[in-house]
Structure formats: structure tokens, C-alpha cells
Amino acid sequence: MSSKRLIALFGLFLALFTVVQLRIFALMLDPYTADTAKAQSTVSLQLSAGRGEILDREGRSLIDGNNETMALALPGDSSYAKLYRSLSPDAAASLYNNGVYGPSLVSVESLPADQGIYTFTRPGRYFETPTAVHLIGYLDGDGKGASGIEKAYNDVLARGGTKTFVRCETMAAGGLMQGTEPEVYSEEGTSEAVQMTLSLPVQRLCEAVAESRLTSGAVVVLDTKSGEILGLASVPQYDPLNVAKSIKNGDTALLCRATAAYNVGSVFKPIVAAAALEAGMDENAVYECTGEIEVAGHKYHCAKNKAHGSVDMKKALEQSCNCYFIQLAQQMEEKDTLCSMARRAGFGRGLMLWDNYLSAAGNLPDVSQMTTPGEFVTLSFGQGQLLASPLQLAGAINAIANDGVYIAPTAVKGIINQNTGEVVSPGPTQETLRIMKPETAKTLQKMLEAVITEGIAGTAAPEEGLAAGKTGTAQTGRMNENEEEFYDAWFAGFYPSESPRYTIVVFEDSTTRSGESLSPVFAELCNSLALFKDQKID
């Protein structure tokens, strides 16, 4: 090639190079191009999902979890190797798999000082010891409500809180661009929150008593005047942050025993008494209990075949005399008198705890379904086909404590705006129904008070004031390995009996204990609730 051609070719390359350099310089000066390039190298990482609050009746958080420290992992940055080495093997493997191609956030418990690692605080969802887990529920792997309030109000909660993000300007290798720092920014939510009827102190009390005194069962506390649930605990409990553990263990912890249906037993007798009194039957009529009674050729017995002697209605409740209540029901002219009272008291019907959620309806047999005399006989002392949940029973006993007015228990006050306190949407409407005359309820209140002061439940007596209640030991027909029968054991009552404020149900399923053994648990709850007498829970 001649020298002239070489010079011409070199000149051409020089000209092209100059054009490219001028174009690059022009692009650098163009604001639009600069912003576009910057946007392409900006990464936003979600720090907090900003899920809305779940509050108790006084506005206290029921989910306020411990803060979590999140570290910013920057592949290509010198801090990445230091962070990687400080993690557990599992966390390090997860970081490598999920964050090797760009910035990511990783949860850390502690970090060496002065390592140049950026950290941020992320609020936790649940308390370290979670509360009301069977009502509140839990989230799925995508952060959506999977059960309970979390599921029912998922849309409200998803938009309620303030979402936070960490924004990074990164280079191709994944590290921060020179001269930049990570920036935290937020997106405001609607400030909507779900307010429950629970009282956090009462809820914690129910959980503490249930955990320490029951193997498998439930505790329910209602506000007598409003019928609202102040506390509801079911044991065993599960960890909402590790639901898989309970599923793997097969410990039935996910079952809410407070809203599931069980055999009822003698705690049904106050409802039988209410039906009889409303039908005009004489509470003072005396029956001679020999320990057994025969109906249609079949003999029925009192517990342990005990003969109670001469008993009226008050004495029969005090001693839980089966034979008295069998003959009392037999005297009712209309068999539906008892079933109608039970139906109005909430038996056989699910409870609307929040929108689109009904608790177990249990089973209240119809008179038309009772094809043999024995079916009505067993109903008269709470056995046979009768099934009810602890929450249903609480509603029924609450009607007696509330001077004869039944109010369906509920768990949600409504959706509120946390900034203004405005009620955005109220909770479900509670059914309110007078099911017995005030004088009938007053009579039963005194009789149930005597169950504790004069009857078989003396250990249910509180230290301060008087209480009223009834025991129940329901046969299940199931046996343990020692051929001992499993019972569903109950204690249901209200406190203080002279001016009822709390209606309380204690329940233990699949136990060899009797209902009488739960009397001290009821007393413990009363003693603790007495400490709240000066606190506002309305």
C-alpha cells in the first residue's frame, strides 16, 4: 500500500473518532440522556411492606413486632465480602443465590463495627411473643393475609401503612456509583387500620392462664354489657412467623378451640332452667333424687350414681343433678320450649366475628329430629347430639348475666383512620335479642352464684366480691390408652355476680379432668380481672 493511501486511511479513522467523541460529549451535556442513564442504574429495594395496623379497643397495637436490622449487600463492593463472612451458612447461601446479580437487603443479627456496611431498620409484624394469633392470623410467603383478620381485611391492611424503600445508584458491577449514598424514601398509605374489640391486657391475661393451666383448650372473656370479646385464647398456640413448624408437628395448634364445637355437658343446665322458668314452672318444686331416673324403659344416672335427695331448682344447679333436669324437661308441655330457648341463646348458629367469617355453628337438634325419647333426655343435661363452641356458650351465659338480653359476641369494632380517629367502616352488626324476662335472669344469677358459694364449685370463689358460674363434664365416648374416658370439661360464669362486668368461659378438651377442676382457673381469672376495675375497657 502506498504512503498516500495510508495517510488517507489514517485521516478517515481520525475523522470518525472525532465524530464519536463529539457525540459522546454532546450526550453528556444533554440532561435528558443523563437522567435516562441514571435511571437505568438506579435500584429500589423494598424495606417495609407498609402493612396497616391491627389495634385493640383502646388503640394499642396488637402486632407491633420487634425491629429487624437489614444490611445492604452490594456485589462488587468491598463491603460485600465482609458482610458475607459475618452471616450464618444458611443466610450466606441465601444471599449468594438471591443477591449475586445486584443490590439486596439481608436480615442480620449483628455486624462487626466499622466495616462500611450500610444498615437499615425494618419494623417487625408481630410481637416476639405474638398475641391473639387465632384471631389475627398470619401472612403467606408473599406477605398477603392467609388467615384470620390478616386475610379478611387484606386489602385494607395492604394499603393502610407507609411503605419504605432503599434507593441505590449502582455501577455495572453492582457497587454504588462514586459519590452516592443509599437513600431511604417512603410512599404514604391510607392510614386505615382494623380495630378489634380485644383489650390487650385482658388478652394477655387469657393467654397466660391458658398456657399455664390448660393442656389443650380455650379461655374466653366477654364484656357483659356489649357482648364484645375482650380476650380469647386457644392452646396450643402457633407461631405466625413459623406456621410450617406447627403443621409439621401435627400439634393441632392451628385449630382455634374457642370457636370450634365440642360436647357441652352440664353447663347447658342454666339454659334448661331458663326455659322452664319462662314456661311458668315452679323453681321451688322439690324432686327426690335417688341417683337414677327411668324414662321409656331406660335408666339415666347422676354423676357417680350419687343420690342428691330432695332438691329444688337452686339445689339441683348447685349439685349439678342430672335426674332433676331430666324430669324438669319431661314436664315441659311443648318439647320445643327447650330447643327454642337454646336457639335464641345462640346454640346451633354460627357467630359473625367479622365480615364473611362465621364461627362453628355446633349442633342443636330439632325436636323433629329427635326420634326417640332418649334423645330429648340427653339434651336436657347437655349431652347427646348437642355441640357448641366456648364462644357460643359464653354468649348464652352472657344473656343471663345481662338481665336476659342476648348479644351475639363479635371481635371487630371496625376500620378506622389512625390519623383522624374517624370510623371508615363499622364492624358487623351484633344480633341483640331479649330471650328471657329480667326477673328470670335475676333468679338464675342468684342460683349460679350459689353454685360457688354453696355448691360443688367452691374453689371458683374469687378473693374479692362474688362470682357466679356452672361446671360441666361432657362425655365424649373416646378412651385413652389406660381405658380412661376423655371428657370435654367446662366452667362458665360471670364476675362480679352482683353487677356483672365479665362473662368467662374456661374449656379443656380431651381431658380426664372434670369441670370442677377448672373452678380454680376461673377464680384466677376473676382475681386478675379485678385488678382492671379502674381501667377503661368500654
Q: What confidence tens digit (pLDDT) does each residue in 523-537 have?
A: 999 999 999 876 665
Taking Cα atoms as reference points, which of 341, 328, 326, 325 lies closest to residue 400? 341
**Which set of grid coordinates corresponds to residue 342?**
337454646
pLDDT over 80 at 382, yes or no: yes
pTM score of the predicted model: 0.87
Q: Stretch 281-309: mean pLDDT, rounded?
A: 95
Q: For residue 277, give the C-alpha cell.
A: 322458668
pLDDT the model gives residue 25: 53
pLDDT of residue 12: 62
CA distance 510 to 238: 19
Phi/psi for 221 (5° steps) reads -130, 125
In this prediction, residue 77 carries a pLDDT of: 78
Element (H, E) at 330: helix 322-330
Cis status of the peptide bond prior to 236, with omega within 30 of 0: yes
Element (H, E) at 317: helix 313-319
Give residue-wise pLDDT tens across range 174-183: 678 888 889 9
Distance CA 213, CA 41 (A): 59
CA dist 196 and 63 (Å) reads: 12
The CATH label, of 2.120.10.30, 3.20.20.150, 3.40.720.10, 3.40.710.10, for the domain at 200-532 is 3.40.710.10
Question: Residues near 54 by Cβ (< 8 Å), separated by ≥ 6?
Answer: 61, 62, 63, 136, 149, 150, 157, 193, 194, 196
Whole-number pLDDT of residue 247:
84
Helix (H) or strand (E) holding 528: helix 519-529
* pLDDT tier at 27, thresholds 50, 70, 90: very low
Q: Given a cut of 70, is residue 211 above it in pLDDT?
A: yes
- Over range 125-130, report the average pLDDT: 90
- Judged against a pLDDT cut of 80, whether residue 69 lies above it is answered with yes
- Report how far residue 135's alpha carbon sits from residue 393's, in angstroms, rounded to the nearest whole number: 18
Distance from C-alpha of 515 to C-alpha of 269, rounded to nearest angstrom: 14
Instruction: Give residue limits of the domains in the chain.
Output: 44-87+101-196, 200-532
Q: How many angstroms separate the Cα of 120 from the Cα of each of 13, 70, 184, 334? A: 52, 5, 9, 71
Q: What is the DSSP letter of 319?
A: H
Higher local confidence (pLDDT), 405 or 169: 405
Band the pLDDT of 3: cuts 50, 70, 90: low
**Residue 315 banded pLDDT, cuts 50, 70, 90:** very high
Q: Classify residue 176 by its DSSP letter.
A: B
Give the residue with greater pLDDT, 25 vs 297: 297
- Backbone φ, ψ for residue 366 (5° rounding): -75, 150
- According to the model, what pLDDT value does residue 33 have? 47
Region 397-422: mean pLDDT is 96
Is residue 353 helix, strand or coil?
Answer: strand
Q: What are phi and psi of 289, to 5 degrees?
A: -90, 120
Phi, psi dihedrals of residue 496, rounded to the nearest 5°:
-75, 145
Give the DSSP per-residue string, 393-456: HHHHHHHHHTTTEEE--BSEEEEEETTT--EEEE-PPPPEEE-S-HHHHHHHHHHHHHHHHTST
Top mean-pLDDT range of 334-338, 483-487, 506-510: 506-510
Q: What percent of the chain has pLDDT over 70?
A: 90
pLDDT of residue 491 exceeding 60:
yes
Closest CA to 435 of 408, 454, 412: 408
Interatomic CA distance for residues 181 and 168, integer angstroms: 7
Confidence of residue 152 (pLDDT cuts 50, 70, 90): very high
Cell numbers for 238, please give them: 402457633
Question: What would the grid cell of residue 438 be?
Answer: 329480667
Please give the pLDDT value at position 480.
87
CATH for 44-87+101-196, among 3.40.50.300, 1.10.10.10, 3.90.1310.10, 2.40.30.10?
Answer: 3.90.1310.10
Contact 311, 287 (CB under 8 A): yes
pLDDT > 90 fraction of the chain, expressed in percent and rounded:
68
Whether 44-87+101-196 and 200-532 share one fold: the answer is no
Tell me, what's the pLDDT at 260? 97
DSSP structure class, residue 66: P
Mean per-residue pLDDT of the chain: 90
Across the range 456-483, mean pLDDT stands at 94
Q: C-alpha cell of 465?
A: 366480691
| Cα(11)–Cα(195) distance, integer angstroms | 79
Range with the poorest average pLDDT among 18-32, 202-216, 231-245, 410-424 = 18-32
pLDDT of 128 higher than 60: yes
Cα 120 to Cα 107: distance, rounded to the nearest angstrom: 10
DSSP 360-402: ---B---GGG--SHHHHHHHHTT-TT-EE-HHHHHHHHHHHHT
Which residue do the cell numbers 336436657 mark?
A: 380
